[in-house]
Amino acid sequence: MSRDLRLRATFDRAAAFYQDARPDYPAELYSDLLAATAITPPAHLLEVGCGPGKATLPLARTGFRITAIELGEALAAEARHRLAEFVDVSVITSSFEGWEPPTGVRFDLVFAATAWKWVDPEVKYAKAAALLTQGGHLAVWNAGHAFPAGFDPFFTEIQKVYEEIGEDHDDPWPPSPPEDKPDPTAAEFDASGHFTVVGTKLYVWALPYTVDEYIALLDTFSGHIAMEPAKREHLYQEIRRRLAARPDGRLTRHWSAVLTIGRRL
């Protein structure tokens, strides 16, 4: 198993605060998803890697039936708690690769929010296609750090600390702006032989963070969860020191998500 797939188990340690620390996805994303797929309640949806229910809740409130799969026991328990009022939503503790639905059950949409990259690439597209109704859809999106023109200079400053502790990446700095950053997902859909892409869209938004809010966010990222404690403590001390020097003590982090939707062939 690759290091990426091993790291997916780290998120369970952040179950108690993941939902509040991570950003909500744009409402426009859900509107575009429903428009492109033409699905309406009570269609049956399958979510891969629901976490504590970050993307499950908005669709549950719309009235869909949802079966949500979550690898982490603590995350699955948190999702059940947050989704308890929705009788047509069930949360199953399992990997997507190892789970099989009851005989004859198929879904109108399979979706994954900030989770698809953690699923075995040898399995995920073929399995998603096999679980869909004829003409059903697969939709995936991933919220990541964006660096548009004029992004907060804090991130250039703190990048030097990542380099000092050996936790930087080989990519050039600063990263490409979100509109210029290639997303391989659509090509993966096409290359799988199971889906044809029917839509892609980029969303970019910005959120302010206090130092405590930002460190809580970092504690939901696999790389920071798995980081050596001494390195993490030094990094967080430097974050606190730099933000304490700002008049408002805040930073602005930009987010981006690319929604990719494919129709089963």
Polymer length in residues for the chain: 265
pLDDT at residue 6, rounded to an integer: 61
Residue 217: pLDDT over 70: yes
Q: pLDDT-based confidence at 3, cuts 50/70/90? A: very low
Higher per-residue pLDDT: 182 or 139: 139
Query: Which residue in the block uniquely carries the two structure tokens 């023109």?
Result: 149
Count of CB atoms situated within 10 Å of the CB of 67: 21
pLDDT at residue 1, rounded to an integer: 41
Helices (H), 3-68: 3-7, 18-21, 27-37, 56-62
Residue 2: pLDDT over 60: no
pTM assigned to the model: 0.93
pLDDT at residue 41, rounded to an integer: 97
The amino acid at 154 = F
Show the domains of the chain with their CATH numbers. Answer: 3-148+176-207+254-264 (3.40.50.150)
* Tokens standing for residue 187: 């090509």
**pLDDT over 70, % of the chain:** 97
Least trusted range by pLDDT, from 92-101, 161-170, 224-233, 236-245 = 161-170
Residue 69: pLDDT over 70: yes
Tell me the average pLDDT of the chain. 95
Between helix 124-131 and helix 185-192 the angle, nearest 10°, is 70
Q: How many CA atoms are closer than 13 Å to the CA of 104, on its beta-carbon side?
A: 0
pLDDT tens digits along 23-65: 999 999 999 999 999 999 999 999 999 999 999 999 999 999 9
Query: Which residue in the block uniquely carries the two structure tokens 């020191």?
Result: 241
Query: Which residue in the block uniquely carries the two structure tokens 């229910």?
Result: 53
177 secondary structure, DSSP code: P
pLDDT tens digits along 118-172: 999 999 999 999 999 999 999 999 999 999 999 999 999 999 999 999 998 778 8
Q: Distance (Å, rounded) from C-alpha 191 to C-alpha 72? A: 30
- Helix, strand, coil tally for the chain in percent (to 5): 40, 25, 35
